[in-house]
Structure 1
Amino acid sequence: MQNSRAGGGTITPGAVSEIDRILALSPVIPVLVVHDAAHARSIAEALVAGGLRVLEVTLRTEAALEIIREMSRVEGAVVGAGTVLNQGDLEASLAAGARFIVSPGLTEGLGRAAIASGVPFLPGIANSGDIMRGLDLGLDRFKFFPAVASGGIKALRALAAPFGRVRFCPTGGVDVASAPEWLALPFVACVGGSWLVPSPAADAHGPDVAEIRRRATQAAKLTRNS
């Protein structure tokens, strides 16, 4: 669980249980880069129908906030915002209906703003200093990013060793072939992946919802050792 001992920020009990609940909903969180809001609902419906309810919409496109709004209308979907870089991104994401927030890194300003908002927050880390800064803010659930470029499973094993209560969601280079190996680690709560909705096909010609659902069904069957 996330702690509240740190000087400089605390997490409310509701936010603590909610981030764990969200991470437990699916073994894989689709990391979505979608350019056309007209495709948002069909993509979300296919992912949810395949068994993946937690969806991370990255703020990498001009349509991202509208896509969050559209996907949030899909029954069963738990839609969050990714690539949140600052307080402005945070506020815009919450206004669009994001139910959780993911950032590629962790700054004190964003961390304090996210904590103050009460939203479930999954900040990115790549080294022990990042983790310690998060712990000082009362956080102990992190996105390990970019997972493969930061040293992969061997690196995460080494990082996790001194931080017994910390749990991670590795993202960045994780694919359908490597996901089971990541999920077998006891300190990995889930993984994030972009392979569920390949780009640019999802935007250029409309989403292949049958293929998206097939990939989601395959991912939802992956098991965790936690």
Structure 2
Amino acid sequence: MALMPSALEVMGDAPVIPVIVLEDVAHAVPLARALVAGGIRMLEVTLRTPAALACIEKIAKEVPDAVVGAGTVRSAADAQAATMAGARFAVSPGYTHAIGKACHDLGLALLPGVATGSEILAAQEDGYTALKFFPAVQAGGLAMLKAWQGPFGDVRFCPTGGVSAANAAEFLALANVACVGGSWLTPADAVKNGQWDRITALAAEAAKLPRPRR
């Protein structure tokens, strides 16, 4: 069994965690290999399609250099299913104690989604200090993250939602941002048409994004 990374290891591996939506299991392995070839190993496959769990299982079994995780984890049952499929981390769009406890009990690294100070406090009470800020741009963006640096100086964030190649560097320049999440590395048309070289090129550009030393 592959070792489970910590949440900080997931966020610290590369500047960007790709948010991946897969409709076809046949695309899972070549997509994962294309991203890894570009220097991106932490792959968030969202549980938004019927094929998602099968895609996670294929990547886990056939792309050993990738660290596949499950996104859009909304319940303890989702966390359990993702773990059984081979996911090594989970990302949730919000936070509940039940999700946090399930992931803790499973030994599954969790990036809980937060958008308010109260949600940060709830996650911290359960031991989580590496958090997903979602939906980042819509919930206050750079200004909100800067405001949180004071009261939540011990928390590291992965802003996701509205983050793109155009604004990723601005988020990554903040001291409390460990990485960003975004879907621009895996455009739907590129996946559908099997344009894996294009995805590798996008991943390589993302992997080069600067992050300040912390």
Q: TM-score, normalised by structure 2?
A: 0.94
Determine helix, strand or coil for the equivalent of 1:156. Answer: helix
Q: Say whether the 8 Å CA contact 2:70–2:89 is kept in structure 1.
A: yes
Partner in structure 1 of residue 138 of structure 2: 149
Q: Say whether the 8 Å CA contact 2:133–2:159 is kept in structure 1.
A: yes
Provide the C-alpha distance between the structure 2 equivalents of 1:23 and 1:188, rounded to a whole number of angstroms: 9
| Pairing of 1:128-207 with structure 2 (within 5 A) | 128-203=117-192, 206-207=193-194
Q: Which moved more, 1:68-77 or 1:162-171?
A: 68-77
Q: Say whether the 8 Å CA contact 2:190–2:198 is kept in structure 1.
A: no
Percent identity of equivalent pairs: 50
Shift of the alpha carbon at 1:164?
A: 1.3
Q: Which runs of 5+ in 2 are unaligned?
A: none
Q: Say whether the 8 Å CA contact 2:145–2:176 is kept in structure 1.
A: no
Provide the C-alpha distance between the structure 2 equivalents of 1:142 and 1:178, rounded to a whole number of angstroms: 19
1:222 pairs with 2:194: no
Partner in structure 2 of residue 63 of structure 1: 51
CA RMSD after TM alignment: 1.4
Q: Moved runs in structure 1, 4+ residues, more than 3 A?
A: none
Shift of the alpha carbon at 1:63?
A: 0.2
Partner in structure 2 of residue 94 of structure 1: 83
Shift of the alpha carbon at 1:201?
A: 4.3
Provide the C-alpha distance between the structure 1 equivalents of 2:94 and 2:149, rounded to a whole number of angstroms: 17
Provide the C-alpha distance between the structure 1 equivalents of 2:204 and 2:173, rounded to a whole number of angstroms: 19
Determine helix, strand or coil for the equivalent of 1:115. Answer: helix
| Aligned match for 1:46, one of 34, 37, 44 | 34
Provide the C-alpha distance between the structure 2 equivalents of 1:82 and 1:118, rounded to a whole number of angstroms: 16
Number of aligned residue pairs: 210
Q: TM-score, normalised by structure 1?
A: 0.90
Q: Which runs of 5+ in 1 are unaligned?
A: 1-13
Provide the C-alpha distance between the structure 1 equivalents of 2:189 and 2:54, rounded to a whole number of angstroms: 19
Question: Aligned letter for 2:79?
Answer: L
Provide the C-alpha distance between the structure 1 equivalents of 2:186 and 2:152, rounded to a whole number of angstroms: 33
Question: Aligned letter for 1:90?
Answer: A
Q: Say whether the 8 Å CA contact 2:38–2:207 is kept in structure 1.
A: yes
Question: Aligned letter for 2:197?
Answer: A
Provide the C-alpha distance between the structure 2 equivalents of 1:199 and 1:179, rounded to a whole number of angstroms: 20
